[in-house]
Structure 1
Amino acid sequence: MTKNSAGDLHNVVHDHLHIPTADKLAATASHKPRILLLYGSLRARSYSRFLAMEAALLLEHFGAETKIFDPHGLPLPDDTPDTHPKVQELRTLVAWSEGQVWCSPERHGAMSGVMKSQIDWIPLSTGAIRPTQGKTLAVMQVSGGSQSFNAVNQMRVLGRWMRMITIPNQSSVAKAFNEFDEDGRMKRSPYYDRVVDVMEELVKFTLLTRDRSTYLVDRYSERKESAQELSLRVNLPSAVEDDSAT
């Protein structure tokens, strides 16, 4: 078979076929990395909240700016218009963030409903813009029993679905009731060391990608479409969105 030349790519629109170049990957931002943390429990003594707070302290030590969303009062998805103040608060924080931490308890072998509701309120698209696309993500979970990875695995799937850059490392804290003191601070342990690792890695990946995320997720197929066409395609009716979004 004869090797094809660029001119043999007869199925592509060459005006929209860009060659990746290193000069488009330069870093320019000087502000602190902006990290949003979400946790998945409404309990007064919530171990996922404690873990998120511990993560925020580490992120700030590593030079990041953090904000933690309080899910109290957030309605169920589709139970109220998205103009609800808590929904708008969440979406504003998502837009502000350059990276995120999702921390859920594991319930019945899955992430909690509180965690999933927060993610479900984050739109896949706003007009032709995808609010989470290109942002970094770290996933963590707490368990009441032995160590498990069901919740973090689910959140990884959701992170991919939301077009986020999910970092390789993750944290799963087993028997979480043994890992925090009366003040909600995490005790010294291998679990704590892993949380340090994950937050350090998240800051590194955020610094590496935040100025480049627009370029990294710039796609040939979407360049072919106008902003209006893209908006019509990605803003599908809610009844079919789950089956059609990619």
Structure 2
Amino acid sequence: MDESLPNIAPALLEVPSSGRLRAGEAPSHPPRILLLYGSLRERSYSRLLTLEAERLLRRLGAETRVYDPQGLPLPDGASADHPKVQELRDLALWSEGQVWTSPERHGAVSAVLKAQIDWIPLALGAIRPTQGRTLAVMQVCGGSQSFNAVNQLRILGRWMRMITIPNQSSVAKAYDEFDAAGRMKPSAYYDRVVDVMEELVKFTLLTRPVAGYLTERYSERKTAADAMEAELQRGQMR
């Protein structure tokens, strides 16, 4: 078998190293988790589920921020310096992991949550606000249990180059799962939410010291090398 790789730049193709995965000191601060939810209703079950998740994350040792989407303009409906857009982007940069919780609307993710995700770019200058972050996805259902929203959130998380954890939560008949005070009742659904938040914290602790290495790519190293070579050639021609 011919094992030659004529289209590869050998100096840019690195053999993955378990040593580099263990390299460096782990950050000493608690895991920083940003939580987004997808409804503006006064009694929003995606917000109630998000707040329940936040309580669990804090008990598990995380530092949390919940973004309030009220007042966020539609994507491209305002400039990027809009205060709500800047708040969201600053929180995305601050975060090391995220939780996205959506109601299922017409078999899909809600527009409220999708707008938040659409306002977060893949890059802000040289900084990437989502790449290498961990992600947990959850949804609330108005009827029987469905997984349409969480499946779409996984696609979005992959597109945003996030490390989406295996576990997820889908709460059926969400109107029956919260009491008058907005607290989630004990149930198998609640236990699953605990599982998801516990897993998110574990994955965040595991990956955040090496997130940059995990998401480093041959194609990007090649693009950077080609750009540097082109710049050198332009300099020599002057």
Normalised to the residue count of structure 2, the TM-score between the two structures is 0.91
Could you tell me which amino acid in structure 2 is paired with residue 180 of structure 1? Answer: F
- Equivalent residue of 1:225, what SS? helix
Preserved contact between residue 142 and residue 175 of structure 2 (Cα < 8 Å):
yes
Kept in 2, the 8 Å contact 1:77–1:117? The answer is yes
CA offsets per residue over residues 216-239 of structure 1, 9 Å max, x none?
111111011229959xxxxxxxxx
Query: What's the counterpart of residue 67 of structure 2?
Result: 69
Q: Secondary structure at the match of 1:106?
A: strand
2:14 aligns with: 18
| Superposition CA RMSD, Å | 1.6
1:221 aligns with 2:219: yes
The equivalent of 2:187 in structure 1 is 189
Task: Give the partner amino acid of 2:201.
Answer: V
Q: Which residue of 2 aligns with 1:236?
A: none
Runs ≥4 in structure 1, deviation > 6 angstroms?
A: none
- The alignment status of 1:37 with 2:35, answered yes or no, reads yes
Q: Which runs of 5+ in 2 are unaligned?
A: 229-238
Partner of 1:157: 155
Show the counterpart of 1:140: 138
Distance 2:174 2:227 in 1: 48
Alpha-carbon shift at residue 73 of structure 1 (Å): 0.4
Aligned length: 226
Residue 138 of structure 1: how far off its partner (Å):
0.3
Q: Render the CA deviation track for 1:152-206: whole Å, top value 9, x for unaligned.
A: 0110000000010000000000110100011110000000000000000000110
SS at match of 2:34: strand
Q: Could you say if the C-alpha distance between residues 136 and 229 of structure 1 is closer, same or farther in structure 2, counting changes exceeding 3 Å?
A: farther
The residue type equivalent to 1:75 in the other structure is P
- Structure 1, unmatched stretches of 5+, are 231-246
State the partner residue of 1:99.
97
Percent pairwise identity: 69
Q: Is the 8 A contact 1:128 1:228 kept in 2?
A: no
The answer as to whether partners of 1:105 and 1:141 remain within 8 angstroms in 2 is yes
Conserved? CA contact 1:74–1:87, under 8 Å:
yes
* Cα distance in structure 2, aligned partners of 1:196 and 1:227: 45
Offset, 1:53: 0.4
- Secondary structure (helix, strand or coil) at the match of 1:145 reads coil
Letter in 2 for 1:83: D
